[in-house]
Amino acid sequence: MLRKLLVGLWMLLLCASISVLFWQNEFKYSLPTPIPLNYHEIAMGSKIDLKCCVTDSRPIFIHFFNPDCPCSRFNIPHVSELIKKYGDQINFKIVVLNKQKSFTIEEIQKKFDAKIPVYFDQNIAKNCGVFSTPQAVLLDASQNLYYRGNYNKTRYCTNADSNYAQMAIDSLLKQNHSPSFDALALRAYGCSLPKCTK
């Protein structure tokens, strides 16, 4: 009888441990990121003042990235492909949002295998209405907010039918009006700011 009780307790502990691990590593990132109490909404089409980031008249794509966020790490290959594919037409930037560790520009550029500008300014996220990582922001050539949202409906960026950021780039380059996306594209998922934890 005692042996059955111990086996039962062991199985219960094992199931609880698996549930906690699943929550910590997977399920919590499938839930929308909580909107901060002091969040100020920035509407699509709003003029975004990014004097620090403007180097030419091309549209600007800003990747908001936290090296400690699992969702950010999983989409590095996807963002790298976007940079390679559209780098001659779009002005790519990376904004690192992590208050707990310091990273160098070279470390971030190496992760993406791209020599693009890297910023550590939290105000860029605030100006764009970003409160989680990873997030994509696309500004047209006049610095109007064209798209702010997710890269894909999966955090691994494996669903080609929901490559939202890429769709926004294609739409802008074809000079279409702002594309319409479902809620999964525009509702923030990932790691919360300012500490980028969930």
Report the alpha-carbon distance of residue 132 to residue 87 in Å, rounded.
24
pLDDT, position 161? 76
Return the SS3 of 94: strand
User: Cα(65)–Cα(133) distance, rounded to whole angstroms?
Assistant: 6
Q: How does strand 135-139 pair with strand 60-65? A: antiparallel
The pLDDT value given to residue 196? 44
Model pLDDT, residue 22: 43
Kindly give the interhelix angle for 164-173 and 76-86, rounded to the nearest 10 degrees: 10
- In angstroms, the CA 147 to CA 165 distance is 8
Each residue of 151-166: pLDDT tens digit?
987 655 666 778 999 9
Mean pLDDT, the chain cut into blocks of 10 residues (198 residues total): 71 59 50 81 90 80 93 91 96 91 92 95 93 94 93 70 90 81 82 60
Q: DSSP label at 126?
A: H
CA separation for the pair 139, 44 (Å, rounded)? 10
pLDDT value, residue 107: 95
C-alpha dihedral sign at 46, 93, 39, 23: positive
For residue range 173-189, what is the model confidence (pLDDT) as tens digits?
998 776 778 878 888 88
Q: How far apart are CA 118 and CA 172, in angstroms?
A: 23
As a whole number of angstroms, the distance between CA 83 and CA 90 comes to 8
Token pair recorded at residue 138? 């696309």
Give pLDDT, residue 35: 83
Task: Give the per-residue pLDDT at 50.
Answer: 80
Q: Residue 23's pLDDT is what?
A: 45
- Whole-prediction pTM value? 0.82
